[in-house]
Chain A
């Protein structure tokens, strides 16, 4: 793995979902960044970006939680998130959420420094990966926020494209939402279930061995539905997949399981 820039400091915002449910994705993201020559700082006081409350129509609660994050990044370093959806929240919605409050300037400063992991790897670090893995076929699901609020679709595909033993299979209706939508999946299971059912079927049908995604919300939605219905889909966060391919160290990522 090579990167074009000299040592650089970055903040890592792991997201609450990774912290509690998919820690290996966070660890692999940190390892990836470090192997790319970046010094990673993890502000211990971080909790959640506030998105669950924001999208549920609770802006006061969202603001209270989001405000806590604003003070965590005093140095002008980039802030890297292993999630397109939380990155979209901080980049696009923080300025709206804090509009007209004394915290707006801090919110804008954070928003302007936020990077989804793959964006940073490709557009800033310009990483070049060497594939040490055996030939495999994967499907990629890009979350709607990642697709529409970041450049992660392009950069994630670029990273997978560097792995010459990996074939990207495009599932039917690839660009369609997986039906997660945070609280939507809990509040409207009758609709959410119909959407994720089709997503699981499309991924199964495309012949991929692994489902790759940069968003743990979508991953837990898709693999959680697959598990409930007895469909075999292995989901991996992009960071974990890249790491095991590029370092040829599959065993390393098998520790500390979630799910």
Chain B
């Protein structure tokens, strides 16, 4: 695996974005994929009023859960422990990996099979396992493809959405021993299934993510379509779930509305093929299930978001991916360009907490603030407002920057600040504004032909011969 992605230089983000935008094939496949996902979602919400009511409920449940987060986590831990599930707390990705490797060593595990888990991507678990000499195999088809190609997921729901059928066909033929080239989708799926089935039986540990944790009952809910999640959590003798601390809700009754919003927003399904509810290891009289179940709860900057009233809404996210499916920027640059585990609008608002604003502020500025994300977000996260807030934090003076976000003030430049001061000084005094615009229009022939980033894509802007206010006077 490549080096950990905990640093995203702004300049490289630009370069990655540029190369995707300039690639017509990628543009076509991204657009096609996003159009497909958008259409699937919108077919699930034919009645906007119903959608608004449901997302009111979803938003309320998530806000309520977060308002009681510390308390619910305590209840959850107590209940899980009572049920026989061992709970571990990790503040950082390193801690999460250490905990995991420790569990693996205690169980003498040499191989691990993984269901889909974005948090395991966030901590780069595969990388850590490899270094510890433990074999990890992804069992979600998309994750499997990405792993085979030695890449990262480019989408939180569809990890391999950047790959075409032909690319996958070539990949399978090249990397899976004894497989001949075929571009029949059915055959490709069968090939993948066969490889994975064999591994399930042999794996010592199954890893999964978690979609919702229910405090009151001590239940881990896991949503999936391929059945690999169920296999990963039942076949190996040990199951380790890993997720973020924000995923907790109070009651079981809070799950169905969120579940409905999640599957309809994510893949346009009324319900997924599998909804797993895990409440304990195998009991004495039960035929199957793991002997031990562990849950690793990761903070990794989430408490920073939690501490700020406005930024807390970031944690409402149920990771449906609808925001990226509807984002004009994601549609142009794809998931890898972001350089972060979570791409798209949700990635722009969560990554500063995980990685620091110093390495991620370039993502916060890379938005038109069009609001397509907030319009579809099933839990009503005000993404554009959060982006403006993160920009404000990034550009604030480091000497006086708030402590709400690590890396605040890192985008500050005294030159840019001087320009904004000059702008404000001109535009707050009508006489100065009039003088400035009068000059701009009178000396319009002096307007530079190169206007920074603007003239990369546009003909230069030129002020009008006479301003609106002058022409208005003329006609009076």
Interface of A with B (CB < 8 Å)? 14, 16, 18-23, 26-27, 30, 42, 44-48, 50, 52-62, 64-65, 67-68, 96, 144-145, 148, 175-177, 179-181, 183-198, 220-221, 224-225, 227-228, 256-259
Report if B27 contacts A (CB, 8 A): yes
Chain A nearest CB, measured from B17 CB (Å): 5
Chain B, interface SS category: helix
Contact A189 B457 (CB under 8 A): yes
Q: A16-B427, A27-B472, A193-B456 are known contacts; what are 13 more A-B pairs with Cβ within 8 Å?
A: A20-B437, A46-B430, A65-B423, A65-B427, A145-B371, A176-B372, A185-B458, A186-B454, A191-B17, A194-B27, A194-B332, A256-B471, A258-B463
User: What residue of chain B has the Cβ atom nearest to residue A18's Cβ?
Assistant: B468
Q: Which A residues are in CB contact (< 8 Å) with B466?
A: 23, 256
Contact string, B438-476, partner A, CB cutoff 8 A, digits 1/0?
A: 001100000000011111111101111111111110010
Is residue B388 within 8 Å, beta carbon to beta carbon, of the partner chain? yes
Complex contact B468–A19 (CB within 8 A): yes
- Docked-complex contact B475 and A27, CB < 8 angstroms: yes
Residue B188 lies at the interface, judged by CB distance under 8 Å to chain A:
no
Is there contact, CB below 8 Å, between B375 and A148? yes
A229 to chain B, nearest CB (A): 8
| Shortest CB distance A33–B (Å) | 12
How many A-B contacts at CB < 8 Å in the complex? 192
Chain A residues in 8 Å Cβ range of B428:
47, 64-65, 67-68
**Which residues of A are found within 8 Å of B462, using beta-carbon distances?**
21, 258-259
| Interface status of B149 (Cβ within 8 A of chain A) | no
Query: Is there a chain A Cβ closer than 8 Å to B420's Cβ?
Result: yes
- Known contacts A21-B463, A27-B471, A177-B368; decide if A47 and B427 are in contact (CB<8 Å): yes
A191-B21 in contact (CB<8A): yes
Q: B472–A53 contact, CB under 8 A?
A: no
- CB distance B395 to A26 under 8 Å? no
Query: A16 to chain B: which residues have CB within 8 Å?
Result: 427, 437
Look across to chain A and name the residue whose beta carbon is closest to the beta carbon of B395.
A57
Q: Are B14 and A68 in contact (CB under 8 A)?
A: no
Closest to A61 in B: B424
Interface string of B380-399 (1 = CB under 8 A from A): 00000100101111111000
CB–CB B464/A53 < 8 A: no
Q: In the complex the two chains form, is A184's CB within 8 Å of B368's CB?
A: yes
Residues of chain B contacted by A59 (CB below 8 angstroms): 392
A180 to B461, CA, bound (A): 14
| Least CB distance, B144 to chain A, in whole angstroms | 30
| B 392-420 to A, binary, CB cutoff 8 A, 1 in contact else 0 | 11111000000000000000000000001
Question: Can you list 20 residue pairs at the A/B interface with Cβ under 8 Å?
Answer: A19-B437, A20-B441, A20-B468, A23-B466, A30-B472, A46-B430, A65-B427, A68-B427, A68-B428, A175-B372, A176-B372, A179-B368, A183-B365, A191-B21, A191-B332, A194-B332, A194-B333, A195-B328, A227-B459, A256-B466
Q: Is the CB of A57 within 8 A of B467?
A: no
Q: Using Cβ atoms and an 8 Å threshold, which residues of chain B touch A220?
A: 458, 461
Residues of A within 8 A of B430 (CB): 44-47, 68
A192–B18 alpha-carbon span in the complex (Å): 10
| Contact status B388-A57, CB under 8 Å | yes
- B326 CB → nearest A CB, Å: 9
Decide yes or no: A57 and B394 within 8 Å by CB, A42-B472, A144-B371, A191-B329 being known contacts: yes
Contacts of A184 in B (CB 8 A): 365-369
Which residue of chain A has its CB nearest to the CB of B371?
A148
Instruction: Output the least CB separation between A124 and chain B (Å).
Output: 22
**Across chains A and B, which 10 residue pairs bring their CB atoms closest together, nearest first?**
A181-B368, A57-B391, A224-B458, A177-B370, A194-B21, A23-B468, A189-B456, A144-B370, A61-B424, A186-B453
**Cross-interface CB contact of B469 among A44, A53, A148, A224, cutoff 8 Å:** A44
Q: In whole angstroms, how far apart are the Cα atoms of A58 and B457 in the complex?
A: 25
* A67 and chain B: residue at smallest CB distance: B428
Task: Say whether B458 contacts A256, CB under 8 Å.
Answer: no
In the bound assembly, the distance between CA atoms of A49 and B471 in angstroms comes to: 21
Residues on B with beta carbons closer than 8 Å to the beta carbon of A179 = 328, 368
Distance in angstroms between the alpha carbons of A76 and B473 in the assembled complex:
24
Q: Is there a chain A Cβ closer than 8 Å to B89's Cβ?
A: no
Q: Which residues of B contact A56 (CB under 8 A)?
A: 391, 395, 420
CB of B433 within 8 Å of the partner chain: yes
B367: chain A residues within 8 A (beta carbon): 181, 184
B197 at the interface (CB under 8 A from A): no
Chain B residues within an 8 Å CB radius of A60: 424
